[in-house]
Structure 1
Amino acid sequence: MLYQPTLQALRQLNLTAMAEALEEQALLPQAQDLPFEERLGLLLDRELSARDQRRLTRLLKLAHLKHHACVEDIDYRASRGLERARMRSLIQNTWIRQGQNLLITGATGTGKTWLACALGQQACRQGLSVRYLRLPRLFEELQTRHGDGSFGRYLNTLAKVELLILDDWGLAPMRGADVRDLLEIIDDRVNQKATLITSQLPVNHWHDYLGEPTVADAVLDRLLQSAHRLELKGESLRRHRDPDTTPKVDPS
């Protein structure tokens, strides 16, 4: 097949990265000396790499992560209570694929939200869908959805997300309707999809926070039965921020 028709065919097949790589090869005399199989392999590698990057960009856009955080920048200072071996296990994302949960607790400023976003970004890098939501904003959204009749569709959307991050659990009071809506969300995900929760409240205070005893029992039974727990310790990292440096952890 001639060069120009080949480029046109690649673009018609939406193999744009492969077409660009072929054009680059045509400008490199040394590429002409490579065996056909090696040149083809280089073209395919370029296309696969471009598709992976597009998928990551799309997943990160849909995730709405609060922080641009990555697991390579996790702060493992001993005072924080993070164990490298345990984090290596979580970073592999087996817990997400098995529909398990992760509960991150600790005082304000210890980096809960940042760590959650770093794990969310890592999940996106491995091709998993993620959605970050602050719990107070989620309840506002659910009230609106009840009013316009789209509540069921929204629940179905959340149920399909492979990692749902619920930030600021316990930050604001919950109404009875909020607790019941939360049960619907959690029930759709139990043993199927993973949920990550960050909270200043210790887990043993969550039952009182949820308020309605029967519904609280149901929510916590579903959340805790297959949950990993991380408790971040130490003083607020904001107090130790060096104004002349960029901290690895954006504490929140």
Structure 2
Amino acid sequence: MEIAPDLVRRLKRLRLGGLLPTLPDRATHARQSKLSPLEFLELVLQDEIDRRESQGLVRRLEVAGFEEIVPYEQLAWDTPVSYDRPRVRALFAMHWLAAKENVIFCGPVGVGKSWFAEALGHSACRAGHHVRYIKVAKLLQLLHASRADNSFERELRSWLAWDLLILDDFGLRKLTAAQSSDLYDVLVERDRRAPTVITSNRAVDEWVALFDDPILANSALDRFAHRAHQIVMEGPSLRAAHAPGPTKPGRRAAKNPPEGD
């Protein structure tokens, strides 16, 4: 079946050109199945909705900056790492996201903290949310650099705008006075506005000592941890047994057990 040029132009004018590749098959199906005009219209419009949702997910995943693409369906739950599995599974219902609550994954290197954090981010992207993943050290570097050209306020606002912010690898080293202030600004400004996920090799009760100013630390962390679901993970590193490199956005999703921090 050939589509009339006038129809092609009208669909493109309405920004419905995505219907063109499947429209002939849909028209044939409608004729063979004796669909009513309204049923046919519903069918092709659903095709367009599905196409746009798929493209939107791809864009959100690219912008998120994940190191690995981790769909919930491919998570490995049978590892030797100890943690509250029912509680982690419950997080994927994403009720905490709607409630603007936070999530903390704590534990030694290689037990899967980053893996689960990115999986939560992937689920949020699927649900239509705008997510950003970044290492804490990189975030602090960007905020510090923005002070040099007087763009700090704009840079800070950009990190407050995300529906979900994932801060990976907090606590690798003690923070300077400037870094303490910058991280305080991010956490306090996002408090009750939008949720944040943090992964760390250190227990939460060790975090205050990482800040240059304990008063600043207690103010920020008391707010953050009070509204956070804390997941403690313990066990051997899974990296030794599973060594393939990370899956970059746009490539095939990872199928191995957790390899994140």
When normalised by structure 2's length, the TM-score is 0.88
Task: Determine helix, strand or coil for the equivalent of 2:168.
Answer: strand
* 1:159 pairs with 2:168: no
Instruction: Give the Cα–Cα distance (whole angstroms) in 1 for the partners of residues 19 and 32 of structure 2.
Output: 15
Instruction: Give the Cα–Cα distance (whole angstroms) in 2 for the partners of residues 147 and 223 of structure 1.
Output: 29
**Conserved 8 A contact 2:103-2:230:** yes
Q: Which amino acid aligns with 2:7?
A: T
Name whichever of 6-15 and 172-181 sits farther off. 6-15
2:81 aligns with 80
Name whichever of 24-33 and 88-97 sits farther off. 24-33
Q: Which amino acid aligns with 1:120?
A: G
**Conserved 8 A contact 1:236-1:251:** no
* 1:90 pairs with 2:91: yes
1:56 aligns with 57
Instruction: Give the Cα–Cα distance (whole angstroms) in 2 for the partners of residues 86 and 5 of structure 1.
Output: 56
Shift of 1:247: 2.2
2:111 aligns with 110
Q: Which amino acid aligns with 1:202?
A: A
**Greater share of residues in helix:** 1
Name whichever of 90-99 and 162-171 sits farther off. 90-99
2:250 aligns with none
When normalised by structure 1's length, the TM-score is 0.91
Q: Does the C-alpha gap of structure 1 residues 188 and 22 become closer, same or farther in structure 2, counting only changes over 3 Å?
A: same
**Conserved 8 A contact 2:143-2:156:** no
* 1:247 pairs with 2:256: yes
**Conserved 8 A contact 1:111-1:250:** yes
Shift of 1:229: 0.7
1:201 aligns with 202
State, as a whole percentage, how many aligned pairs show the same letter: 31
2:100 aligns with 99
* 1:186 pairs with 2:195: no
Which consecutive unaligned segments of at least 5 residues does structure 1 have?
A: none
* 1:133 pairs with 2:142: no
* 1:217 pairs with 2:218: yes
Name whichever of 114-123 and 34-43 sits farther off. 34-43
Shift of 1:82: 3.8
**Residue correspondence of structure 1 range 162-173 to structure 2 within 5 A:** 162-173=163-174
Q: Does the C-alpha gap of structure 1 residues 29 and 37 become closer, same or farther in structure 2, counting only changes over 3 Å?
A: closer
**Conserved 8 A contact 2:242-2:257:** no
Shift of 1:43: 0.1
Instruction: Give the Cα–Cα distance (whole angstroms) in 1 for the partners of residues 74 and 133 of structure 2.
Output: 20
**Residue correspondence of structure 1 range 6-17 to structure 2 within 5 A:** 6-17=7-18
Name whichever of 179-188 and 3-12 sits farther off. 3-12
How many residues are treated as equivalent by the alignment?
249
Shift of 1:80: 2.2
Name whichever of 203-212 and 84-93 sits farther off. 84-93
Q: Which amino acid aligns with 1:248?
A: P
Instruction: Give the Cα–Cα distance (whole angstroms) in 1 for the partners of residues 124 and 108 of structure 2.
Output: 25
Q: CA RMSD in A?
A: 2.0
Name whichever of 66-75 and 124-133 sits farther off. 66-75
Task: Determine helix, strand or coil for the equivalent of 2:100.
Answer: coil
Q: Does the C-alpha gap of structure 1 residues 83 and 37 become closer, same or farther in structure 2, counting only changes over 3 Å?
A: farther
Which consecutive unaligned segments of at least 5 residues does structure 2 have?
A: 245-254
Q: Does the C-alpha gap of structure 1 residues 55 and 242 become closer, same or farther in structure 2, counting only changes over 3 Å?
A: closer
Instruction: Give the Cα–Cα distance (whole angstroms) in 1 for the partners of residues 106 and 66 of structure 2.
Output: 18
Q: Which amino acid aligns with 2:132?
A: R
Q: Which amino acid aligns with 2:237?
A: S
**Conserved 8 A contact 1:99-1:189:** no
